[in-house]
Amino acid sequence: MRERLIVKLILGICILSMIIGIYLVLTKEHGYKKTIALPHESLKKEGIAVIKIYGPIEIRERFGVRYLYSSDWIVKRLKKIRENKKIKGVVLRINSPGGTIGATQEIYKQVLQIREAGKKVVASIGDIGTSGAYYIACATDKIVANPGAIIGNIGVIFAIPNLKSLLDKVGVEFKIIKSGEYKDIGSYFRDMEEKERRLLQEVIDSAYNQFYKAVVKGRKGVLTENEVKELSDGRIFTGVQAKEAGIIDKVGDYEDSIRLITKLCGIKGKPQIIEEEIHPFELIFGKFEEMLRHNSLAYLQENVEKVRLEYRYRPGF
Amino acid sequence: MELIYHFLFDPVSSIREIKKVRPCLLAGSIVILATVSGTIGNLLVTGLAPDIAKISLTLGLVIKLISIFLLWLIFTSILHFIAEGLKGEGEVSSLFISLGFSFIPGILLTPLALISHIFGPLKVFIYLLFGVIILIWIVILQVLALKETYQLSYGKACLAFVIPICIGGISLFVLGILSLLTLISFIDSLLSF
């Protein structure tokens, strides 16, 4: 009798623990919180968060696993920063040629909201901060870049391959049946008509105006609208040139950015720096998936089919 | 229930009882509970991303359960073969059920994982320590099961237990090297595309 009771008790505790365990694993981001979310509880003093914006800016997820540095992940992190009262400032560590417009604008909006919440934001450009990356930098309080970094390329690009000659050579023809005149606009398989070019140019101009306004707003007090217009022809600058032109605030490295943000936030002494940690499993899965993706036919097909507007520096075109 | 209690605290007499009663279903339930507990315990401590944890808890658990049942069967057969080779006499079904019962300590892994969280950053280390203790406990129970089922001496029982583990370990090592070489050449072929 006593033995039955003891066994029932032990089994009961174990089964209850399993139920609690399943709940924690499935709902609470248990343990994971410490690695990729900002550790709210562990902040003993005011801190500075560092968010990395590396590589092409785009919304991407694959196989249900977070894609390293995808824009929606950056946005999620920025939202948590906004809510954390202990975080006084943010450094956006940028090393990106830009990316898709939607993704860029989502991050841009989040940065503005962080500033509205009373926090300071500094952009620190490493090797490259062009196009969409610069768009995001314009949302910050100050932009710092290495003297040799590549900055600028303000503009929009929309690249469509024309395979007509190739298909003519191999004797392949596509018959398109469409519901509207512009349904197959940007088709790879024929020459672009003048009216299509005008329509696409309007689309580009609309996207460009949004970029232009963001730069005007971001560089208010430093550059006039006309000066911004002159510099927004897609040209690139080194960090030194960018400082002379007025499109960045300071030439300096990452450490200079940390010192600047500390000063802007009014933090005395050394602040606590919170950098994003990536779980080792994520790193392995992410890198392996990236490697497979970049060397597969599926990736080639995906990129050939990918027709979209980008705020991105593409020197190959 | 008394069988479970006695197996934990007086395994020798309960193994004799198992030979008579043959509670196969109970042994199977214990194996399932222990596997589930171990999986949940590991997920609680390793802190995987929720999306990966969900896959591990669903698909991973199914694969683990199938594997553990297969391993249980194969391990029993191998031990039976070796024990008979060492002049032991016993029934493979009794050994099969006793080995299933030996997984009882594994059921404690989830509560131990929750307890290890009290230790904060040391939780992984503490859980590993608990895990090692549980493993040793299970191994002792399995050696006892072998000894009592086949009427072997302690020495022979330990030898019979260790032989397949060593062979399995060496085979896994060789398999691992071969898999790694295959993976390297596969990745290499992808990169050169």
Kindly list the structural domains of chain A, giving each domain's residue range(s) and its CATH number in brackets, ordered by start: 46-312 (3.90.226.10)
Element (H, E) at A236: strand A236-238
What pLDDT is attached to residue B151? 87
Among A9, A25, A41, A72, most B C-beta atoms within 10 A, so best to mutate, is A25
Instruction: Please work out, in degrees rounded to the nearest 5, the angle formed at the alpha carbon of residue A274 by the alpha carbons of A268 and A280.
Output: 160
Closest alpha carbon to A68 in A78, A87, A54, A49: A54
Inform me whether the C-beta atom of residue B7 falls under 8 Å from chain A C-beta atoms.
no
Test B49 with A18 for CB contact under 8 angstroms.
Answer: no
In this structure, the number of other CB atoms found within 10 A of the CB of residue A159 comes to 14
Q: With contacts defined as CB-CB under 8 Å, which chain B residues touch A33? A: 47
Coil vs helix vs strand at A57: strand
Q: Does B65 touch chain A (CB under 8 A)?
A: no
Q: Which residues of A touch B (CB under 8 A)?
A: 3-4, 6-8, 10-11, 13-15, 17-18, 20-22, 24-27, 29-36, 64-66, 279, 281-282, 285, 291-292, 295-296
Spatial separation of the C-alpha atoms in residues A105 and A213, rounded to whole Å? 12
Type of residue numbered A129: G
H/E stretch holding B33: helix B24-46
* Interface with A, mutate which of B43, B45, B103, B115 (most A CBs under 10 A): B43
Whether A217 sits among the annotated catalytic residues: the reply is: no
Per the CB < 8 A criterion, the answer to whether A59 and A100 are in contact is yes
In this prediction, residue A43 carries a pLDDT of 56
Give the CA count within 13 Å in the CB-facing half-sphere of A109: 11
Task: Please report the number of interchain residue pairs, chain A to chain B, with beta-carbon separation below 8 angstroms.
Answer: 101
In the structure encoding, which two tokens stand for residue A225, read together?
A: 């609208």
- Residue B32 at interface with chain A, using a CB cutoff of 8 Å: no
Among chain A residues, CA nearest to B109: A14
At A95 the pLDDT is 92
Q: Which residues pair with A251 in a beta bridge?
A: A145
Q: What is the pLDDT, as a whole number, of residue A64?
A: 43
| Nearest-CB residue to B1 (from A4, A14, A30) | A4
Q: How many whole angstroms separate alpha carbon A90 and alpha carbon A48?
A: 5
B51 in contact with A, Cβ within 8 Å: yes
User: Do residue B52 and residue A281 have CB atoms under 8 angstroms apart?
Assistant: yes
The stretches in chain B having pLDDT less than 50 are: 193
d(CA B58, CA A25): 12
* pLDDT at residue A315, rounded to an integer: 66
Give the burial class of A142: count Cβ atoms within 10 A of its Cβ; 0-12 exposed, 13-18 middle, 19 or more buried: middle
Could you list the mean pLDDT of each consecutive 10-residue stretch along chain A, which spans 317 residues?
80 87 70 42 71 86 54 86 88 92 94 94 94 95 95 88 87 86 85 90 93 94 92 92 95 94 88 71 61 58 58 67
Minimum distance, in Å, between the CA of residue A31 and any CA atom of chain B: 4
Q: Active-site residue A131, yes or no?
A: yes
- Our CA angle for B175, B179, B183, nearest 5°, is 175
pLDDT at A55: 85
Task: Output the six-digit token pair for A197.
Answer: 């070019």
Residue A87 near residue A49 (C-beta atoms within 8 A): yes
- From A71, A124, A131, A257, active-site residue: A131
- Alpha carbon distance A123, A159 (integer Å): 29
Q: Looking at B47-91, list the stretches that DSSP marks H as alpha helix, in order from N- to C-terminal side.
A: 50-55, 61-85
What's B56's DSSP letter? I
Q: Please give the DSSP secondary-structure letter assigned to residue B117.
A: G
- Residue A252 is predicted with a pLDDT of 95
Which residues are CB-neighbours of A139 under 8 A, at least 6 positions away?
A108, A109, A111, A112, A115, A121, A214, A218
